[in-house]
Structure 1
C-alpha cells in the first residue's frame, strides 16, 4: 500500500527528519513505521524498566529534577569514574556546541564523512574546518598517521575523531587512539567521540575515557541516548581532566537535565546485567543483518562496530528514490546519506534491528529493485487481510 511522503522533509537540514515529524505526515500509518534511520538499542531499556518508568511517570513529570551535579555524581558511581572528571548535558550535541564556544578558537580538523554537527557547528561560528576525506577505496578506514600529518600540515588547533565512526562504523583499536592522543598534546584540544563505543566487540574495554581524565587536552564524548536508544530524553556526558570537566560544568545550566534522565540514571545500577546482555544481542543481530543484506547482489555492506551498517548501492540505483519507496510502500525509514559531506545518495545507513524487522527491510529493497516482487508482496498482503 502506498502512503505519500512530503519529500521536502528531507531537504530542510543535513540531518534526517525526526521520527515524530515523519510519522505525522503518514497519519495513521505512521504507527506502523519501522525505524532503520535513528541509531537505537532495541533490547534496552527492558519492558520491565519501561513499566517502572510508566508507574512513576506522574511523579517524574510533576516535580523538579535534582541539579546536574547530583545526577552526574550518580552516573560517575555507576561507571566507576571520578565525579570531578565528568560533565552531563542535555544531549551530546549540547556539549559539541559548548566545546566549540569554549575551546575551538580558530580551526578544527575532522575526518569526513562523520556526524554532521562536528563540521556544521564550528562552521556556523566562523571557525576554519579542516576536513580529512576518508576514501571509499580504503573502505572509509581512517589512517591515523596520515590524519596526524594532515593536522600538522593544516595547522589545526583542535582535532576530532569519532570511534566508531558514523556512518560507516569504522573502529580504531584502543592502543592506537592512545598513541593519537599522545602525539597531539600541543593542540588546544583533542576530542574522541565515543558515542557508539559500547557496541564494539572487537576488543574488551575499548574506551579511552580513563586515559582522557589524566591528559591535559583530551575530552571523550559519550551519548547515553545512543547507547539506550532513548533519544527523546536527551542526555550525554563528557570525560576529561578535572580542570576541563569543571569548566564545562560551570558553563552549563545548573538544572540542564530533566527528571526522566534522572530516573533512568538512577535505575542503571540495578540493570547493568540487562544492559550488557542487550549489547550481546545487538552484536548478534549486527552479524545476522550484515549477512542477510550481503546476499542482495546490488548491495555492498561495510563492516561495522556500531549499531548500524553502511551500505553502498550498485551503479544506477538512486538512494533517494529507494528511501521514498521504502517509506511509502513498506513503512520502513532508512538514512540516505546524500546530504552527508564525503558521501553520495548511493550510500545508505541502516540501523541494526531484530530479524523480523530486517526481513521487512530486505523485502522492501527487493521490491524497489524488482517491481514485480513488490507487486507479488502486495497481492500476498491483500490475500492475508481478506482471509
Structure 2
C-alpha cells in the first residue's frame, strides 16, 4: 500500500531539546516575540474556530510594501521549509535533478526524495563555502532546480554578489534557482547578494525568507518566497489549503510593523558570534546567528556538552552553535573549555 521508496527517505531530525538545558541546537532567537506580536497572536487565537485567510492577503500586502514587489510575486507558506518542498513539487517529476551544496540545509534531500527527484549534492570548498563553479558544472539536461543557501546552514559562510551573478549567468533560463536567505537579517557583509535586487535581471531566480529566525516566530511557522509570478503561481498551487494559520499571520503582521525594533536584536547576535569566533580558533567566519566549528569529534563534544546542560548540533564534519546573548555564550564557553 505504500510506495516502495518511502523507507529510503530520511526523517528530518530537529535540534535536540532537553528540559532546563541551554538549547543552542536549532538557530532560534533567544528573545520571545515582541509584546505587540504576542497581543496580536492572542487576539487571533480567540477566533481559532474560523479558518484563516487562505490567500494570506493582508500579510502579502505588507510584504509587498517591504520588498517593493507586487503581491502576485509573493507566496507565503508554513515556514520557508514548506515553500522549499512546494517549489520542488512545482518544478520536478520523478527522475529530475535538484542541485545544492553539501553540507547545507538538512531538509533539501528530503524534499527531493518526496517527489522522486534525485538530489545532486555538490561538496563545499575547502573554506566551507559554496563551490559555485562545481555546482554550475553539475547541471545536466535533467536539472530542474538549484538551491543556494546563503548564508549557508550549517557553516554560516556566504558568497559575494559578483560570485552569484557569475554563477547565474552560467545557468540556463529554464532552471529555477532558489536563493534561500533564511538568515539574511544577520548578514553584515556588504558584498552579499540580495535576491530582491536581482529578480529583474534573472526571471528564473526565487528569493526565500522566514519569520522563524530574526523575527522570533519559529513556533508559528511563517515563511515567504518571491519572484517571477509564473513560478510563484505554481508554488502556490502546491500548497496545502489553509496551511498558513491565523495566529502566525497575525504575529507576522505585527512583527513587520515593528521590524526596526526587532532587527536591532540581530546586532546582539552578531556581537556574540564575533566573540565566539575570536575565542575558538577553529571556528569559521559566519554571517548568521550560529557558528560552525569543524571537528572530527563532533558527536563526542555534543554528548559531553549535553551532560553539562548545553545542547548544540553535531554533524559528521563539525558542530553548529547558535549565538544569542552574552550570558548564554559565556555558559557555552565555560562548558566548551571543560570538555576540551
Instruction: Tell whether the structures are fold-level matches, with TM greater than 0.5.
Output: yes
Root mean square deviation, CA, Å: 2.6
By how many angstroms is 1:159 displaced? 2.1
1:175 is aligned to: 162
Which one of the candidate residues 105, 115, 120 is aligned to 2:110? 120
SS in 2 for 1:227: coil
2:310 is aligned to: 332
Which one of the candidate residues 162, 173, 185 is aligned to 1:198? 185
State whether residues 16 and 335 of structure 1, in contact with CA within 8 Å, keep that contact through their aligned partners in structure 2: no
2:144 is aligned to: 157
Gaps of 5+ in 2: 1-8
Q: Counterparts of 1:20-31 in structure 2 under 5 Å?
A: 22-23=17-18, 30=19
1:110 counterpart = 2:100: yes
CA distance in 2: counterparts of 1:54 and 1:326, whole angstroms: 35
Deviation track 1:313-362 (CA, whole Å, cap 9, x = no partner) reads 3x6xx32232122223x221100012xxxxx3xx1000112111111111
By how many angstroms is 1:179 displaced? 3.0
CA distance in 2: counterparts of 1:54 and 1:120, whole angstroms: 31
CA distance in 2: counterparts of 1:236 and 1:101, whole angstroms: 17
Which one of the candidate residues 17, 27, 33 is aligned to 2:21? 33
CA distance in 2: counterparts of 1:290 and 1:336, whole angstroms: 18
1:352 counterpart = 2:340: no
State whether residues 103 and 124 of structure 2, in contact with CA within 8 Å, keep that contact through their aligned partners in structure 1: yes
Q: Counterparts of 1:61-140 in structure 2 under 5 Å?
A: 61-70=48-57, 71-105=59-93, 106-135=96-125, 138-140=126-128
| Between structures 1 and 2, the one with greater helix share | 1
Deviation track 1:253-295 (CA, whole Å, cap 9, x = no partner) reads 452211221112221343122123122222112111222333x
* Cα gap change, 1:254 to 1:78, in 2 (>3 Å): farther
SS in 2 for 1:161: strand
By how many angstroms is 1:57 displaced? 6.2
Aligned length: 329
SS in 2 for 1:226: coil
* Cα gap change, 1:293 to 1:129, in 2 (>3 Å): same
SS in 2 for 1:129: strand
CA distance in 1: counterparts of 2:122 and 2:232, whole angstroms: 28
SS in 1 for 2:46: helix
CA distance in 1: counterparts of 2:285 and 2:65, whole angstroms: 34
By how many angstroms is 1:168 displaced? 0.6
1:282 counterpart = 2:269: yes
CA distance in 2: counterparts of 1:177 and 1:237, whole angstroms: 21
Deviation track 1:13-48 (CA, whole Å, cap 9, x = no partner) reads 6644455xx33xxxxxx1x221111112335633x3
* Cα gap change, 1:272 to 1:230, in 2 (>3 Å): closer
SS in 1 for 2:72: helix
State whether residues 68 and 254 of structure 1, in contact with CA within 8 Å, keep that contact through their aligned partners in structure 2: no
1:323 is aligned to: 302
- TM-score, length basis structure 1: 0.77
1:305 counterpart = 2:287: yes
1:227 is aligned to: 214
* Cα gap change, 1:230 to 1:13, in 2 (>3 Å): farther
State whether residues 37 and 251 of structure 2, in contact with CA within 8 Å, keep that contact through their aligned partners in structure 1: no
SS in 2 for 1:132: strand
By how many angstroms is 1:213 displaced? 5.7
CA distance in 2: counterparts of 1:65 and 1:146, whole angstroms: 44
